[in-house]
Amino acid sequence: MRNVIGYGLFFLMSLCVSAHAKVPEVQLQLLLQQHRGQIVYVDFWASWCAPCKHAFIWMNTLDKKFDGKVQVVAVNMDADKTDALAFLNANPADFPVIYNPSMSIGRAHKLKGMPSSIIYDKQGNKVAQFAGFNEEKMLRYEAILAELIKQRQ
């Protein structure tokens, strides 16, 4: 009987650890569902990433630039949340930020660098994924976003 209780407790603890590890993934899925009907630009960043600062400045303009038709969601990949908070203090975000210190979302999407981004269409389908941020890439991202906005649902 003691073994059954022990295995039961182990199983429950495993579920709790597993559920806790999935919290960022669930947060992202909820935000994607919440913004169905909009294009969603998901940005993966870290405090040590120099191009991320420039990406944040640009991402803060997207809502206005695209008349509220593009929603930005940022996923922080710092192991220490205090590093992310210091970055956000210096570079405020006008969009939701999910903390994913385990980097599980990034691994699931096979990110190739920081920052990385994924664009989802109005139906919630992943349509593009990129690594890096500079002026040329910014123009490419904006062209994709503009094209997606033109498409009918």
Domain boundaries, the chain: 22-150
pTM equals: 0.82
Domain spanning 22-150: CATH superfamily: Glutaredoxin (3.40.30.10)
Q: Phi/psi at 122 (nearest 5 deg)?
A: -65, -25
Torsion of CA 58, 76, 140, 110, to 10 degrees: 180
Cβ atoms of 130 and 43 within 8 Å: the answer is no
Q: State both tokens at 133.
A: 């941020």
CA distances (Å), origin 100, targets 24, 29, 55, 87, 126:
6, 13, 18, 15, 20
d(CA 77, CA 28): 13
Q: What is the pLDDT along the chain (153 residues), one digit of tens a residue?
A: 444 343 333 333 333 333 444 688 888 888 889 988 999 999 999 999 999 999 999 999 998 899 999 999 999 999 999 999 999 999 999 999 999 999 888 888 898 889 999 999 999 999 999 999 999 999 999 999 999 999 865
